Structure 1
């Protein structure tokens, strides 16, 4: 699957006879083939440029568009037979010509002519050398337009997804910038304008204090499809104590009896809490009488008697208590305060526990209905003998997808954890057969991602919410990220919206996360880079689901090559140092992935509790790799064994 412009007619050049098995290569024949190849590439590139001529509106991008056209024209040919002969002669095998295609072809042709004894004018040689050295200059120029100048010790920029705490914790933002953040990413799918405004304010303040520039990228949510709500069951809360392998108590559960306004929100059902105090909303008048050391008795929903012991007060309206045995608590569970023997007992009901969604679990081979109507999902129902009475069902956040679904189309749920295929469609929705789930089944929760890689979904790239968010983005961001791009027309839609807000020059990053985006990538690049400071993000999460994990490495490479030919910066994203960011310890494969990431112009780290440590590790790895690799070219510094 490659960019559409590459999938046109393949080469008919007679190159197969050039494969070399030893002896003296036919230099004259090779030269003729190279001249023929150059002419074919030149003609095809000119034709592509005529198709694109209306789109590179920024003059500075026109040389890069010409090189991209030449690269696409070159890659329509199978070059492998020629490459093996060129390498045997000690010449460039064209394997690193992405940024300077015509100059690379000319350099090889000049060398072959010299080998034939012909003279080549010095001016021609100088012109070729100048074009080859201009390649990294153009890429650097376009990258600097997007991200600003790089740090002195590395050319790869670091992008950091800001967590919600960045809105309230200035110190975190300052530390991230100090550790190497070059671009702060705000995801418009989370939080809201008030939190975004505080994040922007913190980034700008840190810039001033540290004297380090930092661009702000705001990612629009885009047409992300998700599972709908799930029918709720009982409002129950499990409180779990810590026990060792022998079942002995090692950590009592800690509960925060809370009568403040902060306790008004329901506690999520099913939460476990031996490590941090679990908030339980109670009545203020009742809590006022509770003192440290006093006991609070209750009977849980299973009929088991339990006792909380008050440990300490946290101000006037909160008390920390401990529980030595696990319990299940429901709304209206009575907490009975017994201050001393013989005293009057006072009872408070637990005030707010949200009902927990029912568990929808599917296994390989199961039927699953995706409903047209937004009805709450339910698990499958079975009779006493295990025979299916009603298949599990879940809704989709966008009803328009059903018009594009056909029997045989793939459906992936929750970042590829569950795979299915459409069997039939009816008035209720799409009937799926689960084809991929781990042994024991997978749970389908509300709000999880849905991918339809085989279906041409009739969804606009900008939702009404995205347009509303653009008002904020246009005022505060340096870069806007466009999610789920499928074609160049999506870039046109964004450009029109930016022009209405008088920000037509705002930098744009196109997130490549669908099959259609990969197929249409040349046109997407020309339309975007020809109008704005522009970059391409390889969003490896959704992209892997769309194209298949086994093809991700191949497609990732091809995106890198195409963007290098276009002199367009690439952002390497999704699960970079994920283990380190989330758990404080990287896997071996993550370090290798981080080392490879320096081939891109920017690397994105996602949010997590160990983000600052991950920034330090990434900075170390990428700075070291700078001395070993530049894009596809190995750098041979001295080694000492």
Structure 2
């Protein structure tokens, strides 16, 4: 690159740096001292992402310096280093206004510390932790829990959408006992069920309803009697009947069945099934319903969540906050924590809606005002449906980047090695998915009869693959023949 082009590159860098230097934390947001640099870096990163850096990155590549593609957690420091190198190439003084920004080394240490606070120490063999969903039978099966602990479970997840307080307490007691016996630190994370809309079959005589493409199905209010003339179901939030509009899409069972709202009446809605399996799809009770284009007006905390939190406050290390959408939802959780004197409990925010994604910067910034340890779970099932299949990959990566900029630990969730967990054999795509999970600090595993095999397999894969990738950075160990 000639001197003229280098001079223009220097001007471009100075323009970007100047723009970012004018960004500051809003006056109504007051980060605590140890999170101030994270708040600043988050805002600098969010600001630079408002620009199109594609052409600048191409120029930086030509002179062999950082293209800023992996600089989320230390964005201003990297910009200053690049500017300094360009000045050296031009043999000009680096006269730009120098300020202290979080360095590469400090950013790395900060994420390590935040992850340790949330999820405990990493093992000697791997960086990525494992969070395992505890099945209902574990309430009466101590050996199952002990096996999970021995296999390397770092965090046990209890989902309050299922079972009761009695089972949750029994599970927690088994976890503490097994962890103590084997001298392991195992965190207990409990999911608030949140305003998840689920199916309810109208007849107790059937286990499922078979749906084919072109079928009409109705969701009816609890007050309406069931008729056999048309396929009907109920749902856990009948209030949606007054919220939906004809033409809006609806999804069942994590998107396995798709439909379109065709009519809306006083106490029921009609749905045309537009996509399902060729041979028909079975819709069972307690399966999720998603309405990504409907303004449901449902808050993050439900009355049941508030009841369940009384137990969570007593036995959990972490609360997993489902369907958080705004900073107001976060304030509601903080108030609930205050009520139950659980101000020190750690918090994992489950990002699973379009609204949460759009508000992620503000939500992360709000976490900077509290001493609690925070993490973000990418709940890929609901999220993919909410943002659309075409956007799901990009949105997942943007969440990873934004959380990295905030030095916030990430939990990679939903359908990780699901085939292996359920059937004992992994699919090729599941192996590729693990490589994406290496960008996170923790992988969440769901339930399945082959969970111990999943954990053993995942531990081996992670130990091997972490040699080649740390977060989003590819490493180059010595090439070995197989």
User: Do both proteins adopt the same fold according to a TM-score greater than 0.5, normalized to the shorter chain?
Assistant: yes
Q: Quote the RMSD (CA, aligned, Å).
A: 2.1
Partners of 2:212 and 2:424 in 1: how far apart?
Answer: 33
Give me the whole-angstrom Cα distance separating, in 1, the residues matched to 2:212 and 2:137: 38
Where does residue 351 of structure 2 map in the other structure? 512
Q: How many residues align?
A: 479
Q: 2:214 corresponds to which residue?
A: 365
Question: Is 1:151 the equivalent of 2:123?
Answer: yes
For 1:341-356, list aligned pairs within 5 A. 355-356=205-206
Aligned pairs for 1:406-445 within 5 A: 406-445=245-284
* Gap change, CA 1:374 and 1:487, over 3 Å in 2: farther
Query: Structure 2 vs 1, CA of residues 38 and 403 (structure 1 numbering), >3 Å: closer, same or farther?
Result: farther
- Deviations 1:95-118, CA, capped at 9 Å, x for gaps: 111000111111111111111102
**Aligned residue in 2 for 1:28:** 7
Contact preservation (8 Å) 1:153, 1:623:
yes
Change (3 A) 1:428 1:502: closer
Q: Distance in 2 between matches of 1:199 and 1:69?
A: 41
Among 231, 238, 248, the alignment partner of 1:399 is 238
* Equivalent residues of 1:147, 1:215 under 8 A apart: yes
The verdict on how the C-alpha distance between 1:190 and 1:81 changes in structure 2, with shifts beyond 3 A counting, is same
Give the match's secondary structure for 1:420.
Answer: strand
SS of residue matched to 1:394: strand
Q: Secondary structure at the match of 1:228?
A: strand
Q: 1:598 aligns with which of 438, 442, 458?
A: 438
Cα distance in 2, alignment partners of residues 545 and 23 from structure 1: 49
Q: How does 1:155-554 map to 2 (within 5 A)?
A: 155-232=127-204, 355-356=205-206, 360-375=209-224, 381=229, 391-531=230-370, 532-554=372-394
Question: Which position in structure 2 is the counterpart of 1:625?
Answer: 465
**Cα separation, 2, equivalents of 1:407 and 1:25:** 60
- Structure 2 distance, partners of 1:202, 1:415, is 31
TM-fit CA distance, 1:435: 2.0
Unpaired segments ≥5 residues, structure 2: none
Deviation string 1:137-183 (CA, Å, 9 cap, x unpaired) is 11111111111211111111110111122222222212211111000
CA distance in 2 between partners of 1:373 and 1:615 (Å): 42
Is contact 2:202-2:232 (8 Å) kept?
A: no
Q: Equivalent residue for 1:325?
A: none
Aligned ranges for residues 112-123 of structure 1 at < 5 Å?
112-120=86-94
Name the counterpart of 1:272. Answer: none
Query: SS of the residue aligned with 2:197?
Result: coil
Cα shift readout 1:474-494 (whole Å, capped 9, x = no counterpart):
011000011111111111111
Distance in 1 separating the partners of 2:4 and 2:434? 41
| Alpha-carbon contact 1:230-1:378 (below 8 Å) kept | no
Q: Which structure has greater helix proportion? A: 2
Deviations 1:343-389 (Å, cap 9, x if unpaired)?
xxxxxxxxxxxx336x643333333322234546556x4xxxxxxxx
C-alpha deviation, 1:612, in angstroms: 1.0
User: Conserved in 2, the CA contact under 8 Å of 1:231 and 1:376?
Assistant: no
Consecutive unaligned residues in structure 1, runs of 5 or more: 1-21, 233-354, 382-390
1:635 is matched with: 475
TM-score (norm 1): 0.71
- The yes-or-no answer on 1:60 pairing with 2:39 is no
Q: Deviations over 1:191-221 (max 9, x none)?
A: 2111111111111111221111111001111
Larger radius of gyration: 1
Q: Does 1:588 align with 2:428?
A: yes
The verdict on how the C-alpha distance between 1:374 and 1:547 changes in structure 2, with shifts beyond 3 A counting, is: farther
What is the CA distance between 1:184 and its match in structure 2? 0.6
The equivalent of 1:311 in structure 2 is none
The Cα offsets for residues 515-567 of structure 1, whole Å up to 9 and x where unpaired, read as 11111111121223432210000111111222223322211111110100000
- 3-state secondary structure, aligned to 2:269: strand
Secondary structure at 1:91's aligned position in 2?
coil
Asked if structure 2 preserves the Cα contact closer than 8 Å seen for 1:361 and 1:442, the reply is yes
Name the SS for the 2:378 alignment partner: strand
2:29/2:369 contact within 8 Å kept: no
Question: Aligned partners of 1:124 and 1:461: how far apart in 2?
Answer: 43
Q: CA deviation at 1:579?
A: 1.4
Query: CA separation of 1:463/1:587 partners in 2, compared to 1, >3 Å: closer, same or farther?
Result: same
Q: 1:572 — aligned with what?
A: 412
Q: Is 1:563–2:408 an aligned residue pair?
A: no
Local SS of the residue matching 2:461: helix
Greater shift after overlay, 403-412 or 440-449?
Answer: 440-449
Answering whether residue 73 of structure 2 is matched by residue 99 of structure 1, we say: yes
**Corresponding residue SS for 2:274:** strand
